[in-house]
Chain A
């Protein structure tokens, strides 16, 4: 148990370290971007004096490293700063949008992960036969089609032609859970289709890799049903590679779905980020960047920890 704990603590510590490194990268990256917030706010006709005053007011005349540590200190206290363009508290503004994004990601993940793994196992069961080929072809096709195209196609058929789901997925506080769920039907379908392929293929490849093992032959000679052999004897040993791909896709569901949000007018993080990048609102971009980095690092750290826990040799030492 001791070695296990040590390994897990190591991973977590590494994740935190990585997050700090990411915060530096985000800060440096946003600071070397061309353009000037004061200029953007005041417009082309502003006087040099007005620009200088605004910069001083926003703290932009301080050296970069001081601003970094001030920003970091704020973040550690839960203060993400104020938006440069509208003066709103960023934490409050992001809160609602982040929960919207997480809601969409969670619903998509709850459908996509079990579906992808089941399809992967079915593909192994009927490897090189028609079910395998159909699954591979369909998932490959759905990955290859751009999300916005997939979104518009679904919108045309499911919303416009058959009125099954709403074409606009705007949700707002006060909506009931079921109403929200109904509203996001289309983006969920799009996202499930998009993340499906990689997870399914990884499951198929990882499990197939194990099918030559001696213990699979043992299971066959025990007279077990083929699907039972795959699900019960092969899959538990394939968790480690599969979980890594699953987590990368979950991270994508949180941070990479700007296009889907725009297509379905969904009030999530992605849209918020894009709006403020165009306005050069650096604190908002930094805050979003840091949250995305935290999600990525957190999920991958979780994948590592699950991989460690899935290994019986580490879980039950001699």
Chain B
């Protein structure tokens, strides 16, 4: 019988909400959640945004983010209820017995201080080790987590290392004071898929080596399946299902868990390319002003009318720059863009109004792509006025049609963006793009900020609209599951070049080039032991070379 480390009983967490135009009121974020964790075990907390998983994770440190308050239940850590502790004693729990790894290590490290000073700060604070002992331990952890030059790594500042390295450094920071429990709050979500797998493996190994227990919070069931012993599925602050990892993945009992396990099963038959493409990017090379480095190198791709070209690659591969070149925000150094049979002028300012109308764009962050002080009606109505001169009743009627098309129906026309959910906001952005009756829409990571089930809804909507409106999509994404779901053709980008291009079936079938192979094999699969298989496979391959 293993020792019990943490037992949470009937946890209740509340916050004060400030709905627009109404009186503030208390809302329950987490309701009657109970779980326990033994020493050295990993519990995965999974759910969509708003499920309360981070809030529950932080409650193990008795911490409420913002105005969040823990109002009920017991949090028994190492045999005592930490809710009853005085501030001084609680501070010794935080950063000592329990430590935290944040989603965005880039933001969670102090930009003004060296990494080493931050990593050993709590250890020194507690006086358990001398400075040189603490530094030795940090260097050991840097090495264990696979950071380059562990001896000198700590001398750098946060902005001098990559996102994946920062995430490992934060893990080292959490492990340095020899905690009993580490809370991992979406530690790999912000990383590229090829980086994620390495960080994931490093974290898993570090957990195993140090014997620490962990709460692993994520929205990605495939990821949590690789590291957890138990999983708790949360929705709206309540427990949906709680069991060991094998049962949750292989035999989920609840409907909601089944939906999570089987997410991304959109079927999309690929279409044959048409004779005349709507968009032809011909040998485009581009660089940003004041730099001497080509961000895009000789890019050539075609997109057929009414079809979808997915552009995949990790951050920094030049995907979004390609969109900027096509829209004319960044005139290319060389090469031409042909759209609907006519060559587009390189910069946007000298393009004709019809060119602008027929080429629309949807962005990743629907939040910031809309004026928060405009109603949905004004937002969608603007292109109708601008391009078609619609006014009054005719405009309102067309807005309603568009709202029907994006399945939002009556009652939304006078609402403000702040009153909409993330998925609804993205739908409004789609409607705004459609209002211009475009021939092509550039979708830049449009589902990346959304929960999987919501993202699925958006993808289905986009496919449906493509059938009705015969619009072509240039779909920029780093997510291969999305690509499988909607693409007709695929361009894989790496370091500013297209390394693989063709129809979906061609690109996704072997033989692969090295990069596409790495990319495809890095996508977490919903099965136990996947991570070990991939790591083992790669180890053998590199040994073979």
Task: List chain A positions with a Cβ less than 8 A from chain B.
Answer: 213-215, 217-225, 233, 236-237, 310, 312-313, 316, 318
Is there a chain A Cβ closer than 8 Å to B210's Cβ?
A: no
CB distance from A242 to the nearest CB of B (A): 13
Cβ B110 vs Cβ A215 within 8 A: yes
Please give, as numbers and ranges, the residues of chain A lying within 8 Å of B160 by CB-CB distance. Answer: 316, 318
Cβ B61 vs Cβ A233 within 8 A: no
Q: Which of A218, A233, A237, A310 contacts B102 (CB 8 A)?
A: A218
Cβ B110 vs Cβ A219 within 8 A: yes
Query: With A214-B107, A222-B125 given, can you name 8 additional A-B contacts, CB distance below 8 Å?
Result: A215-B110, A218-B110, A220-B94, A221-B58, A221-B94, A222-B94, A224-B125, A313-B157
Is there a chain A Cβ closer than 8 Å to B112's Cβ?
A: yes
Please give, as numbers and ranges, the residues of chain A lying within 8 Å of B99 by CB-CB distance. Answer: 221-222
Please give, as numbers and ranges, the residues of chain A lying within 8 Å of B65 by CB-CB distance. Answer: 217
CA distance A215 to B113 in the complex (A): 11
Please give, as numbers and ranges, the residues of chain A lying within 8 Å of B156 by CB-CB distance. Answer: 316
* Contact status of A215 and B95, CB under 8 A, knowing A220-B63, A221-B61, A236-B113: no
Cβ B102 vs Cβ A214 within 8 A: yes
Cβ A213 vs Cβ B107 within 8 A: yes
* Contact status of A237 and B95, CB under 8 A, knowing A224-B125, A312-B157, A312-B159: no
Is there a chain A Cβ closer than 8 Å to B111's Cβ?
A: yes
Cβ A223 vs Cβ B108 within 8 A: no
Q: Which 10 pairs across A and B sit closest by C-beta, in order of nearness?
A: A223-B95, A223-B94, A222-B95, A214-B107, A223-B91, A236-B112, A215-B110, A221-B100, A218-B108, A222-B122
CA distance A204 to B125 in the complex (A): 26
Could you name 27 residue pairs across A and B whose Cβ atoms are closer than 8 Å?
A213-B107, A214-B104, A214-B108, A215-B109, A217-B108, A218-B102, A220-B63, A220-B94, A221-B58, A221-B61, A221-B94, A221-B95, A221-B100, A222-B95, A222-B99, A222-B121, A223-B92, A223-B96, A223-B122, A224-B91, A225-B91, A236-B112, A237-B110, A316-B156, A316-B159, A318-B159, A318-B160
Please give, as numbers and ranges, the residues of chain B lying within 8 Å of A215 by CB-CB distance. Answer: 107-111
Please give, as numbers and ranges, the residues of chain A lying within 8 Å of B303 by CB-CB distance. Answer: none
* Contact status of A233 and B110, CB under 8 A, knowing A312-B157, A312-B159, A318-B159: yes
CB distance from B86 to the nearest CB of A (A): 13
CA distance A312 to B111 in the complex (A): 7
Please give, as numbers and ranges, the residues of chain A lying within 8 Å of B91 by CB-CB distance. Answer: 223-225
CA distance A213 to B110 in the complex (A): 9
Please give, as numbers and ranges, the residues of chain B lying within 8 Å of A316 by CB-CB distance. Answer: 156-157, 159-160
Please give, as numbers and ranges, the residues of chain A lying within 8 Å of B90 by CB-CB distance. Answer: 223
Q: Which of A217, A222, A225, A312 contacts B112 (CB 8 A)?
A: A312
Cβ B95 vs Cβ A224 within 8 A: yes
CA distance A94 to B235 in the complex (A): 77
* Contact status of A313 and B111, CB under 8 A, knowing A220-B94, A221-B99, A222-B95: yes
Q: Interface range on chain B: under 10, 10 to 19, 20 to 34, or 35 or more?
A: 20 to 34
CA distance A224 to B90 in the complex (A): 10
CB distance from A101 to the nearest CB of B (A): 35
CB distance from B372 to the nearest CB of A (A): 19
CB distance from B164 to the nearest CB of A (A): 15
Please give, as numbers and ranges, the residues of chain B lying within 8 Å of A312 by CB-CB distance. Answer: 111-112, 157, 159
Chain A minimum-CB-distance residue to B125: A224
Is there a chain A Cβ closer than 8 Å to B431's Cβ?
A: no
Chain B minimum-CB-distance residue to A215: B110
CA distance A215 to B169 in the complex (A): 14
Is there a chain A Cβ closer than 8 Å to B93's Cβ?
A: yes
Chain A minimum-CB-distance residue to B117: A232
CB distance from A129 to the nearest CB of B (A): 15
Please give, as numbers and ranges, the residues of chain B lying within 8 Å of A222 by CB-CB distance. Answer: 94-95, 99, 121-122, 125
Please give, as numbers and ranges, the residues of chain B lying within 8 Å of A213 by CB-CB distance. Answer: 107
Chain B minimum-CB-distance residue to A219: B110
CA distance A318 to B104 in the complex (A): 20
CB distance from A113 to the nearest CB of B (A): 20
CA distance A88 to B50 in the complex (A): 79
Interface residues of B in 364-399 (CB under 8 A from A): none
Please give, as numbers and ranges, the residues of chain A lying within 8 Å of B92 by CB-CB distance. Answer: 223
Interface residues of B in 279-299 (CB under 8 A from A): none
* Contact status of A313 and B110, CB under 8 A, knowing A222-B94, A222-B122, A223-B122: no
Interface residues of B in 446-498 (CB under 8 A from A): none
CB distance from A316 to the nearest CB of B (A): 5
CA distance A219 to B108 in the complex (A): 9
Please give, as numbers and ranges, the residues of chain B lying within 8 Å of A237 by CB-CB distance. Answer: 110-112
Interface residues of B in 143-162 (CB under 8 A from A): 156-157, 159-160
Please give, as numbers and ranges, the residues of chain A lying within 8 Å of B111 by CB-CB distance. Answer: 215, 237, 312-313
CA distance A225 to B122 in the complex (A): 11
CB distance from B127 to the nearest CB of A (A): 13
CA distance A313 to B111 in the complex (A): 8
Interface residues of B in 27-59 (CB under 8 A from A): 58
Please give, as numbers and ranges, the residues of chain A lying within 8 Å of B95 by CB-CB distance. Answer: 221-224
Please give, as numbers and ranges, the residues of chain A lying within 8 Å of B102 by CB-CB distance. Answer: 214, 217-218
Please give, as numbers and ranges, the residues of chain B lying within 8 Å of A217 by CB-CB distance. Answer: 65, 102, 108
Chain A minimum-CB-distance residue to B93: A223
Please give, as numbers and ranges, the residues of chain A lying within 8 Å of B159 by CB-CB distance. Answer: 312-313, 316, 318
Chain A minimum-CB-distance residue to B158: A312
Chain B minimum-CB-distance residue to A313: B159
Chain A minimum-CB-distance residue to B121: A222
Please give, as numbers and ranges, the residues of chain A lying within 8 Å of B58 by CB-CB distance. Answer: 221
CA distance A64 to B100 in the complex (A): 71
CA distance A272 to B160 in the complex (A): 53
CA distance A217 to B109 in the complex (A): 10
CA distance A218 to B160 in the complex (A): 19
Chain A minimum-CB-distance residue to B61: A221
CB distance from B358 to the nearest CB of A (A): 41
Please give, as numbers and ranges, the residues of chain A lying within 8 Å of B94 by CB-CB distance. Answer: 220-223
CA distance A222 to B223 in the complex (A): 26
CA distance A218 to B99 in the complex (A): 9
Cβ B100 vs Cβ A218 within 8 A: yes
Please give, as numbers and ranges, the residues of chain A lying within 8 Å of B121 by CB-CB distance. Answer: 222, 224
Most chain B CB neighbours (cut-off 10 Å) among A217, A223, A225, A312: A223
CA distance A215 to B102 in the complex (A): 10
Most chain B CB neighbours (cut-off 10 Å) among A214, A221, A237: A221
CA distance A312 to B158 in the complex (A): 9
CB distance from B301 to the nearest CB of A (A): 31
Chain B minimum-CB-distance residue to A224: B125
CA distance A318 to B162 in the complex (A): 10
CB distance from B318 to the nearest CB of A (A): 19
CB distance from B178 to the nearest CB of A (A): 14
CA distance A237 to B96 in the complex (A): 26
